[in-house]
């Protein structure tokens, strides 16, 4: 339930998504669920706004220290602290997020639930963390490639690796009406993905687990995957090329994103060395998304 009591707000801006993720991770480690609600949104100028709401006045020196460690002293110096009068601030923060179309999929908030066309697959996201809401080029790129792939092919065993808010897992589950395994290294993200799957009436199809890469027992117990979706970052994607190839069925497809265009060749090379060849390369809002196929 969202509290309508006055809240104490902390706000600052950082230069890129990677830094925003680092700051959010640092704050999440210290302030547990119930103590603070953290939201990060990309601005039109590609910078990221980070806002934290506290029920009680926060320890300002501690907040500045955490932000300085994660993003630098200049960012910490620009933090503003104020009090927000009673209102549904989570709803208000999401009302500016317009529905994002991606092929047959439309990612939207609760306020746009009734505006989704009947022939579209709506994915409703109301998470506290905005990574993976569909309002970022990496998520939209993955959804567009997923839509394209599913027009001519029906995978049975699907993995969303680094699921975040669960958007990709929910999209695959809704389109295929098949079970999807969704994993993330971050426990709060696993819970967010689980909650979002239930919100989208896909909780019976999306199985969420905490895992680092392919190390969880669920991966050794599962059959080889026909489709893997991984919207993370370039370096982890390169490191996962070998383990991922070992968990792929013959002719499996892999959709990768979270990399800048200049990082794409190195990622493609890492996967080509493991028997995966590029099928399509999308560039959206300065980010690359890749569709690869495993060669038998």
Residue 118 lies in a domain: no
Closest CA to 35 of 133, 128, 110: 128
146 and 70 share one domain: no
pLDDT of the residue at 11: 93
164 and 288 share one domain: yes
The domain spanning residue 189 has which CATH number?
3.40.50.150
Please report the DSSP string for 18-54 in residue order: HHHHHHHHHHHHHS-TTTEEEEEEE-TTS-EEEEEEE
CA distance 285 to 291: 17
54 and 134 share one domain: no
Q: Which residue has the tokens 């630098």?
A: 72
pLDDT of the residue at 134: 55
Give the number of residues written for the chain.
296
Residue 2 lies in a domain: no
Residue 120 lies in a domain: no
What is the rounded average pLDDT of the residues 193-214?
94
144 and 264 share one domain: yes
Name the phi and psi angles at 183, rounded to 5.
Answer: -125, 155
Residue 115 lies in a domain: no
90 and 132 share one domain: no
**How would you classify the pairing of strands 248-259 and 80-84?**
unpaired
What does the angle CA 13 – CA 79 – CA 88 come to, to the nearest 5 degrees? 80
276 and 183 share one domain: yes
Note whether 86 and 112 are within 8 A (CB).
Answer: no
CA distance 34 to 31: 8
272 and 167 share one domain: yes
80 and 153 share one domain: no
Residue 105 lies in a domain: no
pLDDT of the residue at 10: 93
242 and 136 share one domain: yes
CA distance 111 to 105: 17
Quote the number of domains for the chain. Answer: 2
Q: Is the pTM above the cut of 0.85?
A: no
| pLDDT 10s digits, 34-89 | 677 888 887 778 789 999 888 888 999 999 999 999 999 999 999 999 987 655 54
The domain spanning residue 70 has which CATH number?
3.30.70.120
CA distances (Å), origin 272, targets 127, 184, 238, 293: 35, 25, 11, 9
51 and 186 share one domain: no
| pLDDT 10s digits, 179-189 | 999 999 888 88
Residue 216 lies in a domain: yes
CA distances (Å), origin 282, targets 137, 144, 290: 10, 9, 6
Q: Which residue has the tokens 């996967």?
A: 271
Tokens (6 digits) for 85: 């009068």
Note whether 276 and 251 are within 8 A (CB).
Answer: no
pLDDT of the residue at 33: 55
Residue 240 lies in a domain: yes
What percentage of the chain reaches a pLDDT higher than 90?
Answer: 55
Residue 202 lies in a domain: yes
pLDDT of the residue at 97: 61
238 lies in which domain range?
128-294
158 and 64 share one domain: no
Max distance between CA atoms of the chain, in angstroms, equals 61
79 and 145 share one domain: no
pLDDT of the residue at 126: 66
């Amino acid at each position: 339930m969202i509290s309508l009591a006055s809240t104490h707000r902390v706000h600052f801006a950082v230069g890129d998504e990677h830094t925003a993720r680092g700051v959010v991770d640092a704050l999440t480690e210290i302030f547990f669920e119930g103590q603070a609600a953290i939201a990060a949104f990309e601005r039109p100028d590609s910078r990221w706004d980070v806002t934290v709401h506290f029920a009680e006045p926060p320890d300002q020196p501690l907040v500045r220290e955490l932000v300085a460690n994660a993003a630098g002293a200049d960012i910490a110096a620009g933090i503003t602290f104020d009090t927000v009068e009673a209102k549904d601030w989570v709803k208000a923060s999401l009302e500016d997020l317009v529905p994002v179309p991606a092929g047959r999929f439309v990612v939207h908030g609760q306020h746009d639930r009734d505006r989704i066309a009947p022939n579209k697959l709506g994915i409703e996201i109301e998470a506290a963390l905005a990574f993976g809401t569909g309002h970022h080029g990496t998520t939209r790129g993955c959804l567009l490639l997923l839509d394209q792939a599913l027009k001519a092919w029906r995978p049975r065993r699907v993995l969303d690796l680094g699921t975040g808010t669960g958007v990709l897992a929910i999209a695959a589950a809704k389109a295929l009406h098949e079970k999807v395994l969704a994993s993330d290294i971050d426990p709060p993200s696993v819970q967010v993905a689980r909650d979002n799957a239930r919100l989208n009436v896909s909780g019976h199809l999306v199985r969420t687990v905490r895992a680092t890469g392919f190390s969880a027992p669920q991966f050794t117990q599962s059959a080889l995957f026909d489709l893997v979706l991984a919207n993370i970052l370039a370096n982890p994607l390169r490191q996962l090329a070998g383990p991922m190839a070992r968990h792929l069925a013959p002719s499996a497809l892999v959709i990768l994103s979270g990399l800048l265009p200049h990082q794409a060749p190195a990622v493609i090379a890492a996967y080509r060395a493991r028997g995966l060849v590029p099928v399509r390369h999308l560039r959206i809002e300065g980010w690359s998304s890749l569709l690869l196929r495993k060669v038998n």
